[in-house]
């Protein structure tokens, strides 16, 4: 692999999502280190939301610049979904740490993503084929972006209420219930997309074996 091929603009945009994810996690570690620092924590939560938005924007820009600059590469095709997965695994780990995501949900998502990138995609590539896009996969990506943003906004809203000494019992309860519902949808879409990919993998392997 040429260094120039790895460190082009689209791939750097993809790699930036890993750093955005780490920064997101670190910010929340700082927040939970002292929950009584209301004003500081509000600023950090807003920064976390901005970082999240920048990561989502980078996901659109890497593909755009790859096509515009005519530098679509094999490494880029694999790096884009890989960094997406790493970013959201870090985000969901953060939500788990602050007790808004069930650890079982995080486990399912991590197993799904690791299976996709360490087993299924390499196996498909070894057969000289590619996985067709899944509607559930696209819906999962959309849901991860929108639902995570909703939860972050609700967290910020609760922090603002605390800052102005407004009772947050109701909004915190709504946030927990909303998180459960939204993350359940994400897990459902993750499992469904995984099933479809496994079905397609079976077809690819069957075709490869019969063509020998």
pLDDT, tens only, 31-82 = 999 999 999 999 999 999 999 999 999 999 998 998 898 888 888 888 999 9
Q: What CATH number corresponds to the domain at position 182? A: 1.20.120
Q: Can you tell me the distance from the alpha carbon of 116 to that of 140, in angstroms, rounded to the nearest whole number?
A: 14
Mean pLDDT of 7-30: 96
Contact between 196 and 138 under an 8 Å Cβ cutoff? The reply is no
From 134-138, 182-186, 187-191, the region with the lowest mean pLDDT: 134-138
Range of the domain at 192: 3-210
Number of structural domains (the chain) is 1
Mean pLDDT of 173-181: 98
The DSSP code sequence of 142-207 is: HHHHHHHHHHHHHHHHHHHHHHTT---HHHHHHHHHHHHHHHHHHHHHHHHHHHHHHHHHHHHHHH
């Amino acid at each position: 692999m040429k260094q120039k091929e790895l460190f082009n603009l689209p791939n750097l945009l993809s790699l930036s999502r890993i750093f955005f994810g780490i920064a997101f996690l670190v910010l929340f570690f700082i927040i939970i280190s002292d929950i009584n620092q209301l004003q500081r924590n509000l600023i950090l939560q807003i920064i976390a939301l901005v970082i999240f938005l920048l990561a989502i924007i980078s996901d659109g820009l890497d593909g755009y610049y790859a096509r515009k600059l005519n530098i679509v590469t094999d490494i880029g095709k694999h790096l884009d979904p890989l960094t997406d997965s790493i970013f959201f695994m870090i985000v969901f780990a953060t939500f788990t740490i602050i007790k808004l995501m069930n650890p079982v949900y995080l486990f399912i998502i991590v197993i799904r993503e690791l299976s996709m990138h360490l087993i299924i995609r390499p196996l498909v590539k070894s057969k000289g084929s590619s996985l067709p896009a899944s509607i559930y996969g696209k819906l999962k990506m959309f849901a991860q972006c929108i639902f995570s943003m909703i939860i972050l906004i609700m967290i910020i809203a609760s922090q603002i209420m605390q800052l102005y000494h407004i009772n947050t019992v109701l909004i915190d309860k709504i946030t927990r219930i909303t998180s459960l519902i939204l993350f359940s949808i994400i897990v459902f879409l993750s499992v469904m997309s995984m099933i479809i990919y496994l079905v397609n993998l079976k077809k690819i392997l069957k075709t490869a074996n019969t063509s020998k």
